[in-house]
């Protein structure tokens, strides 16, 4: 039992410098650090912020909201999900346009890594840095299309649109700045 107790103690973040250099030790330290930084409930995180930056993609209207209801905070978080899904959907549409010129692309390019490394797409990906950056994450193309499409449909149907109309253009919808959760 002593060895197990000693090893567990050495995996703690407090004793990380004393831990043996191994994948197991690193996994224990990283898992504890990661678990502390995760946001379990975005709505409660948003409620704790006094001044929340929001924007409209249609007219680029930006404002900091200070007096908000819980319903507005929940709607803004949902609108943030929809915004991110729309951005990803646009990337996936550009990716589909790019690879659909190749016959049998569904069989040849099953994942983002295959597309990123394919020589026939290097010039196009260098011309589109946002798409090239998007392809750095690893995913299977067809299932990702299906997931994003269904998630976008689901989240758009749940949006409380009446709370999110842009006060400037009255055509777009406000959402939380995309960098909000990365700055926490």
pLDDT single digits (tens) 94-143: 888 888 877 777 667 777 888 888 887 888 888 888 888 888 888 888 88
Q: Measured between alpha carbons, how far is residue 123 from residues 24, 103, 111, 167 in Å?
A: 41, 19, 19, 41
Both 112 and 129 in a single domain?
yes
Bridge-based pairing of strands 52-56 and 62-65 is antiparallel
- Compute CA 84 distance to the chain's CA centroid, rounded to the nearest angstrom: 7
Both 105 and 53 in a single domain?
yes
Both 28 and 92 in a single domain?
no
Q: What is the pLDDT of residue 147?
A: 93
pTM: 0.67
**Does 181 fall in a domain?**
no
Beta bridge partners, 140, equal 111
Tens of pLDDT, residues 65-96 = 888 888 888 888 888 888 889 999 999 998 88
**Does 184 fall in a domain?**
no
* Distance between CA atoms of residues 16 and 20, nearest Å: 9
**Does 159 fall in a domain?**
yes
pLDDT of 19 above 90: no
What are the start-end ranges of the H helices in 48-111?
Answer: 70-99, 105-108
């Amino acid at each position: 039992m002593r060895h197990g107790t000693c090893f567990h103690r050495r995996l703690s973040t407090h004793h990380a410098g004393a831990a043996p250099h191994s994948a197991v030790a690193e996994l224990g330290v990283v898992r504890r650090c990661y678990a502390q930084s995760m946001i379990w409930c975005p709505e409660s995180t948003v409620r704790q912020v006094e001044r929340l930056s929001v924007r409209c993609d249609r007219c680029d209207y930006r404002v900091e909201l200070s007096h908000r209801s819980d319903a507005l905070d929940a709607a803004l978080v949902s609108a943030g999900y929809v915004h991110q899904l729309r951005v990803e959907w646009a990337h996936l549409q550009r990716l589909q346009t790019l690879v659909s010129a190749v016959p049998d692309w569904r069989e040849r390019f099953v994942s983002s890594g295959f597309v990123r490394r394919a020589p026939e797409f290097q010039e196009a990906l260098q011309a589109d840095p946002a798409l090239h950056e998007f392809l750095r994450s690893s995913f299977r193309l067809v299932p990702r299309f299906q997931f994003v499409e269904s998630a976008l449909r689901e989240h758009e149907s749940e949006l409380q649109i009446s709370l999110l109309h842009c006060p400037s253009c009255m055509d777009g919808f406000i959402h939380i700045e995309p960098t909000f959760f990365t700055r926490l």
